[in-house]
Structures are given as structure tokens and as C-alpha cells.
Structure 1
Amino acid sequence: MNVEGFAEDGYDEVRRVFERLVDSGSETGAGLSVWRDGHEVVRLNGGWSDAARSRPWRGDTLVQPYSLSKSFVTLAALVAVRDGALALDEPIARYWGEYGVRGKERTTLRQVLTHQAGQPRFPAEAAGLDLLDDEGLRKSLAQAAPEYEPGTSLGEHALTYGHLVDGVLRTGAGTTLGEMFNDVVRPALGLDAWFGVPDHALDRVAELEYADPGWPQQLHAAPWLQIPAGALDTARTNSRAWRQSVFGAANLHTTATAMAAFFSRLTSEDGPVRELLGPQLHTELLTSHVTDFDEVFGTDITWTLGFVRDKGKIAKGGIGGSAAWWSLRHHHACAYLTRRLDDHSRAAQIAAALGDDLTVVGED
């Protein structure tokens, strides 16, 4: 498999690592982008975008990065806060009356965005629902008791994050998650990224595949990903119906260049994220809000509103191996997006070549 693209002087080791991943077969289709000082210094494309290996991976190949999607759900929610339709610390039940039952009466949007709302998975009652039954899944969350008292524990809301935010947006802001992202957030940030891939971009979407047939059962996060069935089933996630749906916790489709460009401007005081949200919410977005043991990750973690943060980076990864981050130490941004569902060791090798530590970015 060939690797095409460019790496500017000083990034030779990054190119060598990426080429080694592709040549060894550890990677069968991926894009890598690094940005520094406002421009792209690395853009490498390797392998194929389809299982038949007939379409080479290109710079504009779209792929689903699973939980990296959640950061953009956060932005959609914060636009509604900016507009005064929602508030971070008001009970969700103020807007979504059906939700305020069985111990969730005081759950806030801030608790949802920092994975403290006590609903890290859909309830057992949702087991019979279809993966794309948005209304049914939202209703199951509204009717369910939380697994723990909101605000007292931590666990990434692995599949529920988008449905919780969508429910609040629908009732409090009179819009949907898909509409808020695609009509407001995406154009404001200039993102080649979609919740619900439009017809004209479907031919750019990469097919997901397992590195190992047993991969879904080997995951630490597997217990949080079983309801509803299908989120890790490539027969579903490679379907047109899934690609054109909005499942906010998982199915943003985007490119490596788009994600690295976004992270390169994430913290900027004159960048598009701050312009979109305003100074106060931009600061809220990036501030560390909670540090605790995250049961879904299986380790201690610090959450901002939508990102993982430590002394070296602001980041978000997705199950299957995709990750993007801003290096607080080295002031560059990187995105590694893959269609070959495996652990994060490939992105970690790229990070090491850049002098970064990619510990704790997504559920393995």
C-alpha cells in the first residue's frame, strides 16, 4: 500500500512512522494531518478507503471517528447556551419536562457535558430498540433512573451523549443536534465534517473494518456499548442509513485535515471557536471541570466540556483508534483518523514521533 502526501522539513520521523504502520499492515486506511503556526505541515494518506481496496485513501476521505464526535455535540449545546436558550447549570427538566423523574430532577447540562449525568449507557429497557430509533432512545433516557446520583461519579456517556443533548436542544432551543451543528457550528468553523453525510459526499466515506473479528468483545468499554445493538457492527455503520443519520455520540464523519485544523485553532483568542462561543463560553469549554476515575475508560481522567485535558494536551479520541489533539507543550495540532478498528497504539506512535504523550484519549 502506498503513502501519498507531504511532510515538511522536521517531520521526517512522523512520515517514517506512518509509512511503517501502513507497510506493516497495522494500518489499512488512514489519514494523518499536523498543523503548526496556522498551516498544515504534514498531510499523509495511506492505504485504502474501502474493504475491496479499490479506492486509495485521499486527503478528502471522510471517516467516522466514533467518540471524537462528542466534542462537536458539545459545541452545538454551547451555541444554544450562547443564545440564551439553555443554561449550563439549570436543571434539564426546566426544558425537557419528561426527563425530570426518578432522580434526574436536578441533572444539569454541565453534568451531561462532563459525563457526570449518571447515564453512561442506554437502559436495559432500550435493548429492543433499533439503533436509529432516535425518538425511542431519547424517551428511554428520559424515563430511566440514573445509574448513580448525577454529579457524584464519572463515566463517559459512550452512546448516550448525543441523544441527551439532542433532547435538550429540541425542547429548550427548538432545534435538533443535527440542525445546530450542520447549520451553525459547521459553517462557522469551516469544517469538512457532517452529522448526516449529504448525498454529494457519500462517495468520500471510508468503510470501517475490524483489525480482529473479536475486537468488539475485547473492549474495556464493551458493557457500555451493547444497547442498542449495532453501534460496533460494521454492517450497520457502513450503511447509507447510518451515515446519513445523526447519532451524536459516535457518527460524525470528517477528515484528518479538518480535525487537525480545528484543534490548531481551538485555544486561540482570535480563533473561530472563541468567535463562535464568545470569551466566557470559550473559557468554559477549555477549563478542566472534573478529575476522577472514569469507569468507561477504566482510569483517572480530567474532562473539560467535551474534551480530555492533561498537562500536555487537549484531546479527544474515539473507540477504534482515531484521535486528535492540541499539544499545550509544542503548540501543534494533530489528527490521526483510521477506518481499521483497533486500539490507539497507532496514533500513540505518531504522537511519540511528535514528542507528545497520547495517554487516555478514547475507550479501548
Structure 2
Amino acid sequence: MEIYGYCAPGFEALYDTFAANFRESGDSGAAFAVRQHGELIVSLWAGSADRAGETPYTEDTLANVFSSSKGILALLALQQVAAGNLDLDRPVADYWPEFAAAGKEQVSARQLLCHRAGLVAFREKVSDGLIYDWSGACAQVAASEPWWVPGSHQGYAPFLYGWSVGGLLERVSSTSLPELYRRGVAKPLDLDGGFGASGHRSTRVADVGPLKQPLPELRENAVGRAIKEDRKGPVSMAFTNPVSLMMGTNSAEWRGALIPAANGHFSARDLAAVYGDLASDNPGALPPELVAEAAREQSRGRDAILQAEVSFGCGFIRSGRAADLRFGGEQGFGHPGAGGSVGFADPECGIGCGYVTTRLGQSLFMDRRSVSLVDHLYRLL
């Protein structure tokens, strides 16, 4: 496998670690990028972008990063706080009156961002096509009943997060979410991709698919067990209602839709740029006090949906002790995506990191491929 790209002096050993992911861990198209103190110190890519192995993977190839998209959405939310349009501790219903339905009248924007709103899944079965209907999905979320008293439990919202937070942002800004992204993040940081797979700077979009040989897990599959144990419970409904959430991720419908919790298509260079900015001494995307809010612990516990101990900042997952949630130092924050992608900032070291792949593992957090790259990176710092 030929590896393309660049490693700054002192970081050349990362070539071998990246190549090992292809030889030993099933990667067939992937990229890894790192910024430190604003400088791109690593940008590696290799393999193919299509299932047939005919289209080369490039530095600006966009891959679906699934929940790594949530970090970009959280950044947009904090930008609206910075602009004075959003107060994190005011009820969402103050900005979005329909959201008050079904006992959500006191749910705050902070609770939404920190996964403490109880709005983890649709309770009633919804149509497969709903996820492709932005206005319809936002309306359905606004009308939905929480699974528990808001504020009483931490429960990750795999998909509803995008429609609830995104719908709120459109109302506080009177601007469409794609335009907020273009103005606030894509244009100033010169990004390749964005939500969905069209209308971006790069038109190179990778097909994704499962790893041919599953990697050894870094932790037990507690989510899969919870789904099997209660098919109508919140964990199962969060990931499978509707079933189209788990299927068709290479389809034109998925790529053309606005599903901001899960269908962001980004390059590794994009994720490194976003988080490199947030990790810098003078971030451009957010004022320093809101970068601190992103990193500050606001909720911790055994998450009712992820079935794991997770600490949330304001919209981001905070660095933890477990290898698959370790984002550099204690002040690190970011977001992994199902299948293995990850983007994170480590302000202590000035690091912004991104890894994307076309071959999806079974973990909801980082897997052995990204962990090996990040561990090796930190041994070289």
C-alpha cells in the first residue's frame, strides 16, 4: 500500500503506524491529519475511495464521519452564544415555542448540548423517509416526549441531537443551518466538506462499508446487548427508529439530506483544522471563554444510551481514561463517530487531530486504528 502525504521532521514514524492500519487492521481508504499551534504537521492518506478500489483516496476526499459531525454542530451552537443570539440556560421553548410540547417547556439549550434533555429517540415508530425531511424531522422532535424527566439522567441522543440542536440554531439565527456552517466554519477555516455530501469545496466523496474482518474490541459491546434485550427500549429506539438510520449511508438520499448528527462528510484535514483552531492560543472560531466552556465538564455518568462512563462538555465529549475516549491531555475534547472516525482538540499541547476511514468498525468510540495513531503521535511530541 502506497502512503501519500507529509509528516513534519520528528513525526516520520507515523507513516509506519498509518500503513499498519492497512496491512493489519483492514483500512482500505483513510486519512489522518494533525495540526499543532496552527501548523499542519501531519497529513497522510492512502487507499481507494470506492468499493471497487478504482478511485484513489486523496487529501480532500470526504468520508461520512457519523457522530464526529456533532462536534461541528456544537461549535455552531457556541458561535450563536458568542453572537448573543443564544443563552444556554434559557428554555429552548423561548426560541422555539413548539418545542414546549410533551413536558419539554423547561428544557434548556445547555441540557440539549450536554445530552441531559431525555430526548434520545422517537418514542413512536416513524417513517423511514422522515430522516430525509429536515422540516418534518425538526417538527417531530419538537413534538416528542422525553424518555425521562429532563435533567435527571445523562442519555446520548445519536440522531435527534442534530434535529433538536440544528432546529434551535435556525430559529435563534433566522438562518439555515447550512448557511450558518458556511459562514461560521467552512469559509473561515477553508474546509473541504460539511453536512451531507454536496455543495462543498471538495466533490470527492468516498463510499463507506464495514471492515471485512472486525477488529478486536477495546470494550464490550454493551449497546448491542441492550438493543437485543429490549427492542422497544430507549437504546434500541435511539439507533433503529427508523431503520433507515442504520442503512443506505452511500445512497443519494442520505448524501443529499441534512442529518447533522450523523451525515457530516469531512476530510481528516477538515477535522484537524477545526480542532486545531480550537486548541490554539488565539482561536478564530470561538472566544477563549467559550472554548473553555466546550472543555469544561458539565455532565458525567454511565450514559443511559452509550452504556459507558462518559463526560460531556458543552456539546463535546471530554477526554477520559479509557483508550477509546482519550483525546490527549485532561483538557482534551472532541467527538468520535461510529465506525472509527474522530476529531479532537488538546489545548494543553496545541493539537487538533482528525482521522477518517471508509471501513467502519463496530465501535461507537475510537477503535484500534485511531487509538494507535493518536498514541504514537503523543509518544513523538
Match of 2:370 in 1: 347
Match of 1:333 in 2: 352
For 1:151-197, what per-residue CA distance to the aligned partner results, in whole angstroms no more than 9, with x for missing partners? 11112210011100222233333223222112333223332231243
Q: Does residue 240 of structure 2 align to residue 226 of structure 1?
A: yes
TM-aligned CA deviation for residue 328 of structure 1: 4.9
Match of 2:187 in 1: 187
Match of 1:34 in 2: 34
Identity %: 29
Match of 2:22 in 1: 22
| Residues 1-364 of structure 1 mapped to structure 2, 5 A cutoff | 1-24=1-24, 26-127=26-127, 129-199=129-199, 203-212=203-212, 220=223, 223=236, 224-233=238-247, 236-274=248-286, 278-310=287-319, 311=330, 313-328=332-347, 330-342=349-361, 343=363, 344-355=367-378
TM-aligned CA deviation for residue 329 of structure 1: 5.3
Contact 1:126-1:137 within 8 A present in 2 as well? no
SS at match of 2:68: helix
TM-aligned CA deviation for residue 309 of structure 1: 1.4
TM-aligned CA deviation for residue 214 of structure 1: 9.6
TM-aligned CA deviation for residue 148 of structure 1: 1.2
Contact 2:300-2:309 within 8 A present in 1 as well? yes
Structure 2 vs 1, CA of residues 56 and 128 (structure 1 numbering), >3 Å: closer, same or farther?
closer
TM-aligned CA deviation for residue 314 of structure 1: 1.8
Distance 1:68 1:9 in 2: 29
TM-aligned CA deviation for residue 330 of structure 1: 4.2
Distance 2:352 2:76 in 1: 22
**Farther-moved stretch of structure 1 (78-87 vs 223-232):** 78-87
Contact 1:326-1:333 within 8 A present in 2 as well? yes
Gaps (5+ residues) in structure 2? 216-220, 228-235, 320-329
Alignment length (residue pairs): 349
For 1:314-362, what per-residue CA distance to the aligned partner results, in whole angstroms no more than 9, with x for missing partners? 2211001001223355443321111111031210111221237xxxxxx
SS at match of 2:223: coil
Distance 2:185 2:346 in 1: 23
Question: Which AA in structure 1 matches 2:184?
Answer: V
Contact 2:74-2:316 within 8 A present in 1 as well? no
Question: Which AA in structure 1 matches 2:99?
Answer: Y
TM-aligned CA deviation for residue 24 of structure 1: 2.9
Question: Which AA in structure 1 matches 2:270?
Answer: A
TM-aligned CA deviation for residue 312 of structure 1: 5.9
SS at match of 1:354: helix
Structure 2 vs 1, CA of residues 227 and 328 (structure 1 numbering), >3 Å: closer, same or farther?
same
SS at match of 2:46: strand
Contact 2:115-2:157 within 8 A present in 1 as well? yes
Contact 1:122-1:159 within 8 A present in 2 as well? no
Distance 1:330 1:214 in 2: 33
Distance 2:97 2:56 in 1: 49
The alignment's TM-score, normalised by the length of structure 2, stands at: 0.84
Structure 2 vs 1, CA of residues 67 and 56 (structure 1 numbering), >3 Å: closer, same or farther?
same
Distance 2:8 2:376 in 1: 14
Question: Which AA in structure 2 matches 1:49?
Answer: A
SS at match of 2:67: helix
Gaps (5+ residues) in structure 1? 357-364
TM-aligned CA deviation for residue 129 of structure 1: 4.5
